[in-house]
Amino acid sequence: MIIIVTDGVTECRVDDRFMEKSELTDLIYKHKEKKPQQLAEAIFHEIEKLSHFNKLSDDLTFVVLKKED
């Protein structure tokens, strides 16, 4: 699986700091069994929760490439 994200994802504000790479990696592993569209949507919703549903100040773009079995 290959996931490409824009800086809006990596620079998402969680409280008074940016989201850590490890937090994003944890979210990906949590939802890795989902289909690409479902994975992107699940991560988006998790990021919304982490940011306490504050208005996102940048785009959140995910490209998920996953080989089918």
| DSSP helix, strand, coil percent of the chain (3-state; round to 5) | 40, 15, 40
Q: Closest Cα partner for 8 from 65, 47, 49?
A: 47
CA distance 31 to 58: 23
Confidence class of residue 53 from pLDDT cuts 50, 70 and 90?
low
Q: State mean pLDDT over 56-69.
A: 79
Q: State mean pLDDT over 40-55.
A: 81
45/10: higher pLDDT: 45
* Cβ-Cβ contacts under 8 Å for 23 (sequence gap 6 or more): 14, 50
* Domain residue ranges of the chain, discontinuous segments joined by +: 2-65
